[in-house]
Structure 1
């Protein structure tokens, strides 16, 4: 009975939980939130390309799960996955500054001008102005200073994951008892 119980309840529950978590964690990218918790913080400026964690879909597609010694392990091949999932601080590097100087120069060349040389007051220029302000601030940060990245959790544990585990385990246990009734002799 012990082998049957382990296979039919524990192993089956872990597999069922894995399937459910895989779907729910993927759905967190659509919800822009961890289950029904508060939505992920917005970016400092909206560049019209979409949510930070949805831009290319690379992070979403990189999330993998595997069963390992009776546990579920989630991972990502993206080096920035952990900082976005947990939040934290990153150190400014010369490479980062170079990237933001490049983005600043790129943005400056996209403004629309009136015939008299003044910048137009249109929506596009206002959006560019917000980008330019952000890129300039980032480019002027000192190497070694830190930037706070807010938590945008897409995998992990919480009340919703606890509920899913409980429901699946209880259902598999009930199914097992139906197939293997306990008989008092």
Structure 2
């Protein structure tokens, strides 16, 4: 078998996309980024598991080969906030309230600030690097090469 560097690179990148996509998807089942568990919710809601109330974010996360690497993205606007953590704003609609004394009053529409703890499911880390090295090594072994030999060339 002859070594076609462009085909080898394309195979490595595609295998990385597949293997990392599967592992990042499993992070939802693990409820953590590999072995780093997510912070629990502030309130226990009856519907769905942590980050999986509807499953839309999990389903929308996709990987694609882009240039010399693999890029992961989601069409859901809140994915990066969950994955990276940070501050967000929620719009509160105008509504009426009743006081304890029975008086009805109107609450104006406003924004409420909230802090989202990081619950990473996509990204780089030791486990990600181990998967990448495994994919490269598996592809090089098809040509009876080893990663250390390939890096010396």
TM-score range for the pair, normalised by the shorter chain length: 0.7 to 0.9
Matches of 1:91 and 1:59, distance apart in 2: 19
SS of the residue aligned with 1:176?
A: coil
Contact 2:61-2:73 at 8 Å conserved across structures: yes
How far apart are residue 3 of structure 1 and its match? 6.8
Higher relative contact order (CA 8 A, sep 6+): 1
Matches of 2:89 and 2:21, distance apart in 1: 32
Matches of 2:132 and 2:28, distance apart in 1: 21
Give the corresponding residue for 1:122.
none
Matches of 2:114 and 2:58, distance apart in 1: 23
TM-score, with length taken from structure 2: 0.77
Structure 1 gap ranges (5+)? 106-139, 179-185
Matches of 1:74 and 1:44, distance apart in 2: 28
Match of 2:134 among 167, 174, 179: 167
Contact 1:5-1:176 at 8 Å conserved across structures: no
Give the corresponding residue for 1:71.
69
Higher helix residue share: 1
TM-score, with length taken from structure 1: 0.64
Match of 2:115 among 131, 139, 148: 148
Alignment of 1:33-52 (within 5 A): 33-37=32-36, 39-52=37-50
What is the count of residue pairs matched by the alignment? Answer: 136
